[in-house]
Amino acid sequence: MPRTVAVVGAGPAGLVAARELLRAGLDVAVFEKSARTGGTWAYDPRADADPLGRDPAAPGAVHGSLYASLRTNLPRELMGFSDFPLAGRVFAGDARAFPGHREVLAFLDAFAEESGVAARVRLRAEVLRVRPLGQGQRERWVVAWRGEDGEVAEEVFDAVVVCNGHWTVPQVAEIRGIDNWRGKQMHSHNYRVPEPFRDQNVVVVGMGASGTDIALEVSHVAKEVHIATRYSDRLGKVGLRKNVWIHTEVDCIQDDGKIRFTDGSAVAADSILYCTGYHYHFPFLDLDGLAIDDNRVGPLYNHVFPPKYAPNLSFIGLPLKTIVFQSVELESKWVAAVLSGRSTLPGEEDMMAAVREHYRQMEEAGRPKRHTHVIMPNWEEHLNWLADQVGEPRLEAARLEMLEKAFWCAWSMDEGYRDRWEQEDDSGTSSL
């Protein structure tokens, strides 16, 4: 009888995990809380009643964090799976090099159908609790879940693969004096269109890919946009933009209501828009020896297996700032190989030693704990390590060049880079 595996979540990670588990001869059930597959790529025009979205358990809380105009920040060539590419095919009429979210969702729908995974997905099935079957037991797992009818059921599985994503629970910067702020605050989780910021002075906190995108979009309707960031060395007015400035990070809200930056400058603003990322959040897990500390999920062996509960509990899709679809596919192949017995893991102590070494290297390099799952700039090393575990080809140099170029373009403050990508590509990578 095949081993049974519960997959939590039917976004890109859950779908490709289920595909690999099925290929390995395992019996798979995918639990998806929402009414459709696609995870974060399923656009929802609604927003939370709380513009900061702090409580994901609030009645009517919105899962999705996409804004209406969102396009991928990686080209099609880096968005598909190895034997089911997004490049060279059009799924929703959007053939652009950097397609919009509807194209990616249509791609995922087609992948789920053609791989046979769609038939294994239970929609409107919310996982409430995942626990080992018995004390000190890690070979069988109880999954409690609530169906559309509100009834709660429990099932026992041989393994659980957690793929519930991490783009739902906002991380909001703590600003000194914010209790005295009388303006509007919003997290990008609840940003959909720029119109609410028309004729306003807006402070955007954070300058990642989405922060840059949103700041530039808002600048078309706002009076002024001021981007606060802890990392940029490009301070002052942005190029040809008449109304966008980059500042150091926010220091506090002054007594006069102005927002002061750490360089001592201050601006009057109507709104603060936080583009400050998200928390990892697993409300259904309550396990001794597994914790989230300053957005470090751990201990995890190479971001996937908790040594204490390996191999029958695993996580797919935690790494950030990498080739995400390739990363989750390789992680899925690794988990499937281990659960089917085709591959083995080191012992618990050896895995823990590897985790401690990773933490030591981070500390030595001065990297904050919250960046534990940020792969950049070690893209090549990480993806090649995963590929080696499952006998897949290593990362091609051209794909790495394409990834690096895409990341630098995303932070260039050039709104049109996506549409000039192929015309101006002098790296020779766009033909992959």
Q: Where are the domains of the chain?
A: 4-168+278-389, 172-274
Second CATH level (architecture) for the domain 4-168+278-389: 3-Layer(bba) Sandwich (3.50)
9 within 8 A of 27, measured Cβ to Cβ: no
pLDDT of residue 2: 76
3-class DSSP state for residue 380? helix
Query: Where is 142: in which H helix or E strand?
Result: strand 141-146
CATH number of 172-274: 3.50.50.60
pLDDT mean across residues, the chain: 94
pLDDT of residue 12: 98
pLDDT tens readout for residues 147-157: 999 999 999 99
pLDDT of residue 135: 65
pLDDT tens readout for residues 106-132: 999 999 999 999 999 999 999 999 999
pTM: 0.95
pLDDT of residue 136: 59
pLDDT of residue 60: 85
Answer whether 4-168+278-389 and 172-274 agree in fold.
Answer: yes
Residue ranges, the chain, pLDDT below 50: 426-432
Question: What is the chain's length?
Answer: 432
Report which of 214, 185, 205 is spatially closest to residue 70, judged by C-alpha positions: 214
Distance CA 258, CA 243 (A): 18
Distance CA 112, CA 119 (A): 8
pLDDT of residue 245: 96
Distance CA 101, CA 96 (A): 12
Tokens coding 115: 């791989």
Give Cβ neighbours of residue 179 (< 8 Å, ≥ 6 apart).
Answer: none
Distance CA 383, CA 375 (A): 9
pLDDT of residue 383: 97
- Give 39's DSSP letter: G
pLDDT tens readout for residues 235-248: 899 988 899 999 99
pLDDT of residue 425: 53
